[in-house]
């Protein structure tokens, strides 16, 4: 429960930092690995912004992952339209000719559900603190013809259960390559601002984290620090790393006797060491992730998941109003999750 709580807090803060990305018409490539047994995913998305309307078309390719193999999941295409004027998001399945509708009111309830994952009982039983640091390095890089500078964000959420003494920690590392040269970002920044206001998040940190001060999140400082990140991120790498203490390995009894000859014993020792090393990492990840309700399949090097997002093309172009309307002939499908 402790690690599940810390995970939820980390995701909320991560979502807060993601609100700054924006543009008019742009193509992004996102590569995600290590997430809940889904293997690697590569998604290419074309986003179009026009005033209070947004259209996102994406193609996702899956590689490996036990869950994906069991479910026989194929590559998929998605279309999403967000209308601020109607306060609604449509997710469209062109192959099945259906769509689902998510209202802003339902989205507000979803955010409340995420925050309420930490019940009053859990709050009383744990002590947690979140710290974060933003560091502008001197590193420079050219991405898509734009001069970018590196900004590193580190967020650490730590907690301890007073009754059991159980300790847990989540580290979120965010690497951003930011440019000041993208002039087209104003329209989408305005879109994000309007959407936040529609969702009752005019002050992002205050609205999202005001109820989490008991977990050591300084919302005022968080808002100030995030405001220091000026510019447009062309490349963002996010890693979430859980950490937990391992019990020391039991030492072999000195008087333990083996019947194997010396050569066989040496070979077996090497095999056992390799197996124990692999098994130790697997056990660590499995124990931690099962407590959070997350499958350890796909985790690499202690990383819960890693996402790399790169903006490959960015431009201004005229977009027809009809692209933000529901295509004709679609049937409305009921959402799987009710609110």
pLDDT digits (tens, 9 = 90+) for 97-122: 999 999 999 988 887 776 666 545 45
Query: Could you list the residue range(s) of the whole structural domain that residue 274 is in?
Result: 2-249+262-332
CA atoms of 222 and 173, how far apart (whole Å): 15
Q: Can you name the residues that pair with 56 across neighbouring β-strands? A: 47, 80
Q: Please count the structural domains in the chain.
A: 1
Q: Is residue 294 a part of any domain in this protein?
A: yes
Q: Is residue 212 a part of any domain in this protein?
A: yes
pLDDT at 207: 45
Give me the helix-helix angle, 262-292 and 2-18, nearest 10°.
70
pLDDT at 159: 75
pLDDT at 171: 85
Low-confidence ranges of the chain (pLDDT < 70): 1-23, 34-39, 64-73, 114-128, 202-226, 243-302, 337-339
pLDDT at 266: 53
pLDDT at 237: 93
Q: Is residue 257 a part of any domain in this protein?
A: no
Q: Specify whether the CB–CB gap between 9 and 130 falls below 8 A.
A: yes
Q: Is residue 255 a part of any domain in this protein?
A: no
Q: Is residue 26 a part of any domain in this protein?
A: yes
pLDDT at 142: 94
Q: How far is CA 190 from CA 19, 40, 47, 223, 285, in A?
A: 11, 33, 15, 18, 41
Q: Is residue 256 a part of any domain in this protein?
A: no
Q: Which residues touch 15 (CB under 8 Å, ≥6 apart)?
A: 208
Q: Is the Cα torsion angle 291, 295, 296, 302 positive or negative in sign?
A: negative
Q: Is residue 52 a part of any domain in this protein?
A: yes
CA atoms of 13 and 157, how far apart (whole Å): 10
Q: Is residue 339 a part of any domain in this protein?
A: no
Q: What is the DSSP string of 235-250?
A: EEEEEEEEE-PPPPPP
pLDDT at 279: 39
pLDDT in tens, 275-312: 344 334 444 445 444 444 444 444 455 677 789 999 99
240: how many CB neighbours lie within 10 A of its CB? 21
| DSSP, res 300 | B
User: For the chain, what is the largest distance between any 2 Cα atoms, rounded to a whole number of angstroms?
Assistant: 81
Q: Specify whether the CB–CB gap between 224 and 203 falls below 8 A.
A: no
Q: Is the Cα torsion angle 68, 72, 77, 83 positive or negative in sign?
A: negative
SS3 of residue 339 by DSSP: coil
313: how many CB neighbours lie within 10 A of its CB? 12
């Amino acid at each position: 429960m402790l690690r599940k709580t810390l995970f939820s807090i980390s995701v909320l803060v991560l979502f807060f930092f993601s609100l700054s990305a924006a543009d008019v018409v742009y193509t992004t490539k996102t590569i995600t690995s290590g997430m809940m047994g889904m293997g690697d995913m590569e998604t290419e998305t074309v986003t179009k912004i026009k005033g209070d309307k947004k259209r996102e078309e994406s193609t996702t390719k899956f590689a490996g992952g036990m869950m994906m193999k069991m479910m026989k999941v194929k590559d998929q295409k998605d279309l999403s339209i967000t209308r601020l004027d109607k306060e609604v998001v449509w997710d469209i399945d062109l192959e099945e000719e259906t769509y689902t509708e998510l209202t802003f009111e339902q989205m507000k309830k979803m955010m409340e559900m995420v925050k309420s994952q930490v019940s009053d009982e859990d709050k009383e039983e744990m002590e947690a603190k979140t710290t974060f640091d933003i560091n502008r390095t001197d590193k420079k890089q050219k991405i898509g013809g734009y001069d970018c500078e590196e900004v590193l964000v580190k967020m650490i959420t730590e907690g301890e259960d007073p009754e059991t003494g159980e300790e847990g920690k989540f580290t979120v590392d965010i690497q951003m390559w930011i440019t000041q040269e993208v002039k087209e970002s104003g329209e989408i920044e305005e879109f994000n601002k309007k959407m936040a206001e529609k969702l009752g998040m005019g002050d992002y940190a205050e609205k999202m984290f005001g109820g989490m001060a008991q977990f050591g999140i300084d919302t005022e400082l968080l808002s100030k620090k995030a405001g220091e990140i000026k510019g447009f991120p062309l490349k963002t790498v996010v890693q979430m790393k859980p950490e937990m203490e391992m019990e020391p390995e039991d030492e072999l009894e000195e008087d333990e006797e083996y019947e194997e000859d010396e050569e066989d014993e040496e070979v077996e020792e090497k095999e056992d060491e390799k197996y124990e090393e692999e098994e130790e990492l697997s056990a660590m990840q499995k124990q931690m992730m099962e407590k959070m309700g997350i499958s350890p399949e796909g985790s690499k090097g202690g990383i819960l998941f890693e996402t790399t997002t790169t903006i490959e093309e960015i431009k201004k172009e005229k977009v027809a109003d009809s692209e933000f309307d529901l295509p004709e002939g679609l049937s409305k499908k009921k959402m799987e999750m009710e609110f």
